[in-house]
Chains A and B, each alone.
Chain A
Amino acid sequence: MTPDAPALSLEEVRFRWPGRASFGLSVPGFRVAPGESVLLIGESGSGKSTLLSLICGIVTAEAGQVCVGGTDIAALRAGARDRFRAERIGVIFQQFNLLPYASVTDNILLPLRFAPERRRRVADARAESARLCAALGLAEDIPGTAAGRLSVGQQQRVAVARALIGEPPLIVADEPTSALDAATQDSFLGLLFGQVAATGSSLLMVSHDERLGGRFDRVVPLAEIARAERRAA
């Protein structure tokens, strides 16, 4: 990774879902600096998920460049892209983040299985996972329990620990607070920001909720950077 490169940059990106000609997305230009936290505001259906899929390299753009830490994702082969995602990006979903049958610790350690570099940055993976759990306010007996038995709020915090372990440079969160009530939302964001600041990662969060904006370096309406194209089907 080039040190000065932005954590994320999209240039002249055009994308259309294969087989679904009715919907496409174009992003003329968008950047996230290293260590920066950005909140993208967008209603559902505005292309949030498509944008995140592009950033994570699940789908590739027809034209333009999607660079994470200076690397053009589209230039990588499929297998390398999966590995790249594991190494560089921590992902937090809206809900159902965890494998319900696996223990909390196994869930947190899972990305390290596919990311040897992240694995190397962690001296003792289990200790690190326990440390993250503690830092995120999870009780001591949590790591051993099956993830499916936790409350939604606990699960989202475990998802944060999993995204952060091994310090990936970019954290991508897709409406991580939408399943939480207002009080839990606030404490969750507090913990998330605390840990993201501690690792120095960039944070890109997508949400429809503008009230979350206060903690972020930048709040960007999705409509400003991306244009969803919809044709009458």
Chain B
Amino acid sequence: MILRLAIGSLLARALTVGMTVLAIALSVALFLGVEKVRTGAKASFADTISGTDLIVGARSGSVQLLLYSVFRIGNATNNVTWESYRDIATRPEVDWIVPISLGDSHRQFRVMGTTPAFFEHYKYRGGRSLGLSGGHGLKDLYDAVIGAEVAETLGYEVGDPIVVSHGLASFTDHDDQPFRVAGIVARTGTPVDRTVIVSLEAIEAIHVDWRSGAKIPGRTTPVEQIRQMDLTPQAVTAALVGVKSRLQVFGLQRWINEYPEEPLLAVLPGVALQELWQIVGVAETALLAVSAMVVVTALLGMMAMIFSSLNERRREMAIWRAMGARPATILGLLVLEAALMAAAGAVLGLGLLYGGLVIAQPLVDSAFGLWLPIGWPDGRELAVLGGVIVAAGIVSLLPALRAYRLSLADGMMVRI
């Protein structure tokens, strides 16, 4: 009955209560939304590469190696010689190894030389393989497979010619050996979307007439002749390694890191991703803190609303007192009302969040490659909602205590 009366009292003040509930709802939706994007981004980030046990490159920092080998950000300072690569590949622990050769570009996108095994072993979002939305994989020497974003941005379709530029942001094109778009990778939400993939041999082929990063003047080897050449590279930029048993990861990692012929670095992708996230995550935490402040502001607004309503409700308090309600009951009534408002706000906020997610999910996925899962609210979110309700109860204690004192002083006789 008290609950029914509390609800009745709230409904009677529908406008002010409604605005307060709306403020709480918006703040809760914002907070949960930020949290959702944060965890989604973190998951997407962590999902960039999976199934790979070690990333091997020239010795630098683990974050740097991860950045250039997986995210195609920055450059390798050194390469891994083909001999070292072979040494690693023939280790008994190694199940598979995929070489990566970087350094050239097409427009604003990086070109990556690799083997067809890349499509077999590169996994993202918890073990998903790359799928082609059109065409086929690398078959011919001059086949290129492009990421979804490359295709979309440049308007490429299967069969279109592509000319690879030497280096990044350079004016020298490998226009003597044009490629052909053989396939387009379906959108993954990973850096693969922004990559032009060619074969390792092709990288070698387009550099046949080059020495030390410059074209040898006047020399143009015919394509037919290049096709006959041995195109085994001198070096690769990095390699993705899978081991036969996960127990061997650390042994192999140590072996590579202590490799005597050349300074190499092997990192566990998960560990490196986490190191990277610690750097990126600060901004996300700041965003979360700001949205938490918005929730606090909404609750303070509610407190102000309860305070300002106290005076006009003194008569009502007197009625409760005359009926035998204790001052503590009045305090409880006000706290209950606040908790009800917060609960309504939390539920409405959750509704707003899911409504927003349903609309935004496909847009965010296609625009940012960020997958925001829609599921039942998890424990963390429920804890946030519960926390908002409890916080509302605590915040309302201040006006409720004032009402307590007023009702003690006024008793049943209020003259207004």
Contacts and interface: CB of A to CB of B under 8 A. Distances in A.
Interface of A: 49, 52-53, 56, 58-59, 78-79, 82-83, 85-87, 91, 93, 96-103, 106, 109-111, 113-115, 146, 148, 162
Contacts of A98: 319
A102 B322 contact: no
Nearest to A59: B411
Nearest to B1: A113
Interface of B: 1-2, 4-5, 8-9, 11-12, 315-316, 319-326, 328-329, 411-413
B12 A87 contact: no
Contacts of B319: 93, 96-99
Given A53-B413, A102-B9, 7 more contacts: A56-B411, A93-B319, A96-B315, A97-B319, A106-B4, A114-B324, A114-B329
Contact of A111 (B323, B326, B411): B323
B410 to A, nearest CB: 9
A82 B317 CA distance: 14
A113 B2 contact: yes
A101 B411 contact: no
A107 B9 CA distance: 12
Contact of A102 (B5, B321, B329, B413): B5
B241 to A, nearest CB: 71
A91 B322 contact: yes
A114 B413 contact: no
A8 B8 CA distance: 36
Contact of B323 (A52, A59, A96, A114): A114
A121 B100 CA distance: 88
Contacts, number: 79
Nearest to A86: B324
A85 B12 contact: no
Contact of B1 (A56, A97, A100, A106): A106
Contacts of B5: 99, 101-102, 106, 110
A110 B323 contact: yes
A111 B321 CA distance: 10
Contact of B324 (A78, A83, A101, A106): A83
Given A99-B316, A106-B1, A113-B2, A82 B412 contact: no
B324 A111 contact: yes
Nearest to A18: B409
A115 B324 contact: yes
Contacts of A99: 5, 8-9, 316, 319-320
A103 B7 CA distance: 12
A77 to B, nearest CB: 11
A56 B12 contact: no
A171 to B, nearest CB: 12
